[in-house]
Structure 1
């Protein structure tokens, strides 16, 4: 079994975000842009595209119109703060990142804010034990806009937040989790008035993924399933569906969904992003690679030693990749231009290649 440790390796994010910020600065020099923010406003690099406001964003709960460039940005849910920072703006309030450091920031977000933009880290938003946002904290941050397109808000919360500032909810009316990182980047670019920089960021990130795919032709057409480890007493294996962001990212690298994906889809309840397959029927799920994130070493050990699961072909042959490291799991579970670049720089593709070759990889 191959065990890889990626914790503790701080790497400066390379050229993508620096190039995007440089592009924004060039556009500012050529086109004027907005007035400089006061000392009380969020740090920014570059400025809005000419003629980008007013702008109206359509989302699941209606439309939100911004009359001018927002300078104080609050983000809710996964990944959005990454995109805001990648476009050269430091939010004033962000959620704690699962898999982040002791202060609640991911390495890629911290590097972008402190090293690339040269700003101060934003305030971490508070939630109570029931998961309700501290709306008074958001109000005190005096945001010009609240962006919450990925697991960010339900309609009740949206209505309350809209009383504080213009709020953008998830784009898909059917669910709050399935928008692509490309669509999210384009939307955030529109909100910030930085559509040109957003388009450049998408193109450069897609080039990184294309380069990784070209370097590993064995990925093309290899089938996979992405799921969870087993909890004690589990009778089925939880598996993510094709529209889930982590599954979509694997397809962007050339992999294809298992031929048995329809079985998984048939088991999905409501608007969930996962389904399940009975452990007794696992042999009907063909896959060249199985990926999963683990809730801990005990659960991973239980999973690998399970008498039925351990006989499943991808496991018996070592064609699996388990994430115990929360940072790499988060970087690929909720992909953004920043996290994709970080994941590629921290060996994500090499770990996929090792697992596809039967290396029985656990990332801890």
Structure 2
């Protein structure tokens, strides 16, 4: 956006900026100097060196830009951090033991947050240029920006022991966006952590993805496994996945600070769509490419594609153990995608061990390498 020349009192500007942000649907707004998180680059390098990012190679490739706002844009002077609430109206854990039903992470049950948040960011950016000039850039999630440390530096909350942002007012349910600007805006004070001795999020993690408080090993995280991981789900995590087919809310949902998060503050765009609030596992197993696109149009889930979704649903089917799922599971043994065929073999072994034994004698010899491994390694039966 073009630079303009304006003269306006900084405190007046920041107060008006926050009021406009609230009008546009942001429940949190704070400002940090561009150099407010000098420790972020070192922590990122250490985390990447440990390999905890798994196959998210894009984090390595743009690590220098991700390490600091100036690394991404040398002209930046201030960062406006914004939060939009998606606080759920119901307990995210309510479907943990529901037979035949799959669980989708709260954040993905409504409209795609990328689109909703970016629309608000662009509107606020236009307002800021009109009021004070300067050049700026807007970011939401997909760019190499360390949103959570910057949000902490801007006073929106703190990074909890689960590594996500925690807000005193909105708990763990905030989508974050950033506006970088060449303006020298009045900064807010940073927000230091107040998790204290609480370790609820650490205990709740089904796959022990936290090697220590404030550290996450993405390779063990169900959100990573169901979304970022393109290959077979590692066998050691399958049973722990339960009926989770896209993401996981457990570490967020148990955070005591969520008692202050009001669902009324959530943007209505993120309200759960009926077909995503409690989808039937059997329906998901029937999806082809066209069906997948139709169901998940306008949802962030669309990015993983049909094969990964059906792979995840097959793991849920195996954990569910319902015999009514057997026809779909058996049909998927011949799916074109190896990752689907392998998951189907595992699900069959969980639901029908005898059927698995019969099929393995005829299928293992001609199967792809990954799928052959499934046939040669009988899964523990359900129950």
Give the TM-score normalised by the residue count of structure 2: 0.30
Larger strand proportion of the pair: 1
Question: Between Structure 1 and Structure 2, whose CA radius of gyration is higher?
Answer: 2
Give the TM-score normalised by the residue count of structure 1: 0.31
Larger helix proportion of the pair: 2
